[in-house]
Amino acid sequence: YSTGDEHAQGNWGYLDQVDALQWIQENIVNFGGDPSLVTIFGESAGSFSVSALVNSFSFGQENLFYQAISQSGVLFMAFLFSSNIKWVAKVSTFYSTFAGCKTTTSAVMVHCMQQKTEEEILNITQEMKFLFLPAVVDGIFFPRSPKELLEEKQFNRIPYIMGITNQEFGWFLPNNALHEFIMSSPTNSINFKVFLPTLQKIPKVLTLMITEEYLGVTNDPVRKKSLFLDVLGDLTFWIPTVILARLHRGEFYVYEFQHRAVKADHGDDIFSVFGSPFLKGNTSLFAIKAS
């Protein structure tokens, strides 16, 4: 959420995370922890947050944590960061209007939004069906774009694990629009940009090469749908992960999470990290301990 000016510069969620990490440094000893062994870990949007914290030097993050793990989400995922502050401000204004706030000035709009309860914000977001508002260059958390910071090598040299599942878009399989899109499109003319607007800037000739590389091997509708999901997963998750891994100056490890019987969807790795009992209600203490 950003108005593009001093009233809401953006990235407040990240600033909250920085505050939380500072609190941990000051208090972890009281809980038997070691402030020099703090590891930050996240999955999906949380994974992007980890990546953002690793690559932001604005708050001396190198002293707030010493290891990092990103599961399915890193910098360079275009829809999670925007350099177009005017567009973000416009979307934020629309969001505020939907919330019933006056938008005569940024100050009035932000003050109104700050009076909303957590429940109201959650309900507004669910009604609008917005997954998220992107991070922006705010001059504080991100003094420059992540791409510029990485090119300047302004990031932490800490041990970093990052990875993906082997079918990040498996959740998209039941989508009727996807089925109709695949069934009605000849293999050599499938327009990926319908599902990945971030490809709009890619030249048509390269889009055709991507199509041929992934889908030119089959005319089987079921197989074609599976391969199409591979395209979405690679472009959205895998390629950004590889780029970041190559730029990271510290020790790093890259993995792909798989499941023997079927492919692993986005978020399936959470079950293995925490154990399924933590994701279920009314679970016995024995099951939780066993997990």
Dump pLDDT digits (tens) for 45-97: 899 999 999 887 665 556 899 999 999 989 887 778 888 888 889 889 988 99
Full domain range(s) for residue 197:
170-237
In this predicted structure, the answer to whether residue 181 has a pLDDT above a threshold of 70 is: no
Give the pLDDT confidence score for residue 124 in this predicted structure: 85
Residue 243 lies in a domain: no
With contact defined as beta carbons under 8 Å apart, do 98 and 123 qualify? no
- Known catalytic residue: 180? no
Give the predicted TM-score (pTM) of the model.
0.83
What is the C-alpha to C-alpha distance for residues 182 and 227, in angstroms, rounded to an integer?
11
pLDDT tens figures, 220-272: 777 777 888 888 888 889 989 998 888 888 899 999 999 877 889 998 888 88
- Known catalytic residue: 92? no
Residues 118 and 198 placed together within one structural domain of the fold = no
Residues 28 and 116 placed together within one structural domain of the fold = yes
Residue 65 lies in a domain: yes
The number of domains in the chain is: 2
Q: What is the mean pLDDT of residues 207-215?
A: 77
What is the C-alpha to C-alpha distance for residues 96 and 90, in angstroms, rounded to an integer?
10
Give the pLDDT confidence score for residue 131 in this predicted structure: 60
Give the pLDDT confidence score for residue 257 in this predicted structure: 93
- Known catalytic residue: 111? no
Residues 52 and 151 placed together within one structural domain of the fold = yes
Residue at which a domain ends, from 158, 192, 209: 158
What is the C-alpha to C-alpha distance for residues 247 and 199, in angstroms, rounded to an integer?
22
Residue at which a domain ends, from 237, 253, 279: 237
Residues 90 and 213 placed together within one structural domain of the fold = no
Confidence of residue 208 (pLDDT cuts 50, 70, 90): confident
Give the pLDDT confidence score for residue 169 in this predicted structure: 85
Write down the H helix ranges in 63-202: 85-98, 106-114, 118-128, 146-151, 176-184
Residues 190 and 118 placed together within one structural domain of the fold = no
Residue 92 lies in a domain: yes
Show Cβ contacts of residue 199 under 8 Å, excluding neighbours closer than 6 positions. Answer: 192, 193, 207, 235
Residue 82 lies in a domain: yes
pLDDT tens figures, 156-179: 788 999 999 998 888 877 766 666
Which residue bears the tokens 């590389």? 213
In this predicted structure, the answer to whether residue 188 has a pLDDT above a threshold of 60 is: no
Residue 266 lies in a domain: no
**Choice among 2, 51, 56, 266 that is catalytic:** 266
**Choice among 44, 145, 185, 226 that is catalytic:** 44
**Choice among 56, 96, 168, 248 that is catalytic:** 168
How far from each other are the two terminal CA atoms of the chain, in whole angstroms? Answer: 38
